[in-house]
Amino acid sequence: MARSNKPLVWSLFASGGTVAAFLIPALALVTLMAGYGHAPALLDYETMHGFASGWFAKFILFGVITLCLWHAAHRMRTALHGLGLRADKAVASIGYGIAAAGTMATVYYLLKI
């Protein structure tokens, strides 16, 4: 039987989509406040560093960043196909490549904190 990576890609897409739908609007509002100079207390360096040092927070941050990255990569692939771009292999390589690099970078920075 031929092996397929579709179930893996689809599970990352679906869970990433759910995470993005639940969290991204609220997170964007929090970082927007920081942009306007009214950063909430959690974004203070000491507080955020302390928060991100805990293993539970690392797990949450890893899940949010990487699942959303894989979701975006997979959905951009189908969106670009819908917009008429037929270079699927190149689009998939670039999108999943960025998602894979982002996943590795997330692990690296989380371990560094």
Question: Judged by CB, which is closer to other proteins: 8, or 104?
Answer: 104
Q: Which of 53, 101, 46 is nearest to 73 (CA)?
A: 101
**Applying CB under 8 A, does 87 fall inside the site for other proteins?**
no
The residues in 20-59 that bind other proteins, with binding defined as CB under 8 A, are: 20-43, 45, 48-49, 52
CB-count exposure of residue 32 (10 Å: 0-12, 13-18, 19+) = exposed
CA-nearest of 35, 32, 106 to 68 is 106
One-letter amino acid of 105: A
Least spacing, CB of residue 48 vs other proteins, in Å: 6
**Binding residue (CB under 8 A) for other proteins from 8, 79, 87, 90:** 79
Work out whether 94 is an interface residue with other proteins (CB under 8 A): no
Nearer to other proteins, 2 or 20 (CB): 20
